[in-house]
Structures are given as structure tokens and as C-alpha cells.
A and B are shown apart, each in its own frame.
Chain A
Amino acid sequence: KNEVEQSPQNLTAQEGEFITINCSYSVGISALHWLQQHPGGGIVSLFMLSSGKKKHGRLIATINIQEKHSSLHITASHPRDSAVYICAGAKASNYQLIWGAGTKLIIKP
């Protein structure tokens, strides 16, 4: 079992739908990162959070430390949101990042 697991692996939705991507982890972490990678493009950091909730535009990230679970939500999804979304946990012991396998999101117009 991977230390950081994402679900779903693939997600296709219609424009306007509310999107949720989940990330569960089994190790102690000091922070959790959500990143976005467009096809052929670079990786952009969306959020870094260690507790609670953060919001940026249409993106919302939440984390529940007790349940070792984080979610990334996209409201009013748009085709330009199509990308791979990756969560990564920073291990509390040595700050090494443990990466989820990514969720490939496709938003159809």
C-alpha cells in the first residue's frame, strides 16, 4: 500500500460540475501539498496546508489531520482545469515528500 493514495485515478466531468479529488496518507506528515500539472507543462503548486482549509479562486483544499485525509475541490469546473492533480505529503521525520500517483482530470465543454 502506498503511503499516499489518491482517488480517483481518472475523472471526467462536464463543465460546471463540482469536482472532488481525495488524498489519504498513512504516515505522519507536517504539511500536505496539492500541485497541478498540465499536459506537456510544468508543475504548479496550488496549496500547501497543515490544517483546516484554504481557498484560492475556485479551488478549495481541506485537510483532516485526525483522519489523515485531504481533499481538493474545484467549483464551477472549466475545460482549462483539465490537468493532473497531485498531492504530496511532507514526512514529519525528514521532510521528504511522498507523492501520490496523481488524478487525471478532464473537463468536457
Chain B
Amino acid sequence: GAGVSQSPSNKVTEKGKDVELRCDPISGHTALYWYRQSLGQGLEFLIYFQGNSAPDKSGLPSDRFSAERTGGSVSTLTIQRTQQEDSAVYLCASSLNSAGANEKLFFGSGTQLSVL
């Protein structure tokens, strides 16, 4: 597609349920980032994928959070046993190469997760 696509755009779930959030980066982009943004707060780094390298998972807040990137393209962020504090907008971004290597970032429109 022309841009970074995220689905679903909204997700309402009950506390304790598992959720999967999907990100389709721009075709050919090797770098993919997941962030979350709580209401009125800045961006919180979650995980970074770069090509075939091991992902940088240093931002994942707990072991309930995991992410994978299949075939170097689509990424899925999974939150197990959701808690109310997981409610936030989850944003995905991609860049052609690493965002430090003089590459612009392209963001998806996010998934608004609400845990009741």
C-alpha cells in the first residue's frame, strides 16, 4: 500500500483477554517500530525491528507484551491478559532503513485500544 496500515483502528476488549494488533509497513521498509501513546502523553517506545537482526525489545513494559515480524514485512503486537493500564493508542512506524540512517519515519494511524 501507499502508507503504513494498522488494524484494527479501534479495539475494545475485556480485562484479561488477549489482543493482537497488526501493522503493515510500507513495502520495502526494513525498519519497523512500535510505540504506544497514552492519553495526553508522549510516545513510549516498545520494540524495534531492523531487517533480519534480532529485535530491540527493550521498551516492552512486561512479559505480557510480545511482537513478531514475519518475513520482514507484517508485524503483530500481542498483548496477553490485558489490563486497564494497557489502554492507549498503539502506533507503528516504518522507514526504508534505520531511522538513524537519514531516513524519514512514516507512521500508521494507530490502533486505539480500550480495556474495560
CB contacts (< 8 Å) of B99 on chain A: these are 31, 33, 48, 90, 95, 97
Please name all residues of chain A whose beta carbon is closer than 8 Å to the beta carbon of B45 when the two chains form the complex: 96-97, 99
Number of residues on chain A facing chain B (CB within 8 A): 25
Q: A99-B42, A102-B42 known; A33 and B48 CB under 8 Å?
A: no
Please state if A42 and B105 are interface contacts (CB–CB under 8 Å).
no
Chain B interface, DSSP helix/strand/loop, else mixed = loop
Q: Are B107 and A45 in contact (CB under 8 A)?
A: yes
Contact residues on B (Cβ < 8 Å of other chain), bracket: 20 to 34
In the assembled complex, the Cα of A94 lies from the Cα of B42 at a distance in Å of 21
Query: Do the beta carbons of A44 and B107 come within 8 Å of each other?
Result: yes
Whether A50 contacts B102 by the Cβ 8 Å rule is yes
Q: Assess whether A33 is in contact with B105, with CB atoms less than 8 Å apart.
A: yes
Within 8 A of B (CB), among A17-56: 29-31, 33, 35, 41-45, 48, 50
Q: Is B98 part of the contact surface with A, judged by Cβ < 8 Å? A: yes
Which residue of the partner chain A has the closest CB to B99? A90
Tell which of B42, B50, B56, B109 has the most Cβ of chain A within 10 Å.
B42
- Assess whether B100 is in contact with A42, with CB atoms less than 8 Å apart: no
> What chain B residues lie within 8 Å of A97 (beta carbons)?
33, 45, 99-100, 105
Interface hits, A70-109 → B, CB 8 Å: 86, 88, 90-92, 94-97, 99-102
The chain A residue sitting closest to B43, CB to CB, is: A99
| Given contact pairs A96-B56, A99-B42, A91 touches B100 in the complex (Cβ within 8 A) | yes
Chain A residues within 8 Å of B33, by CB: 97
Rounded to whole angstroms, the CA-CA distance of A41 and B37 in the bound complex is: 12
Cβ-based interface call for B101 (8 A): yes
Given A97-B45, A101-B42, check contact A42 B110 (CB 8 Å): yes
Interface residues of A (CB under 8 A from B): 29-31, 33, 35, 41-45, 48, 50, 86, 88, 90-92, 94-97, 99-102
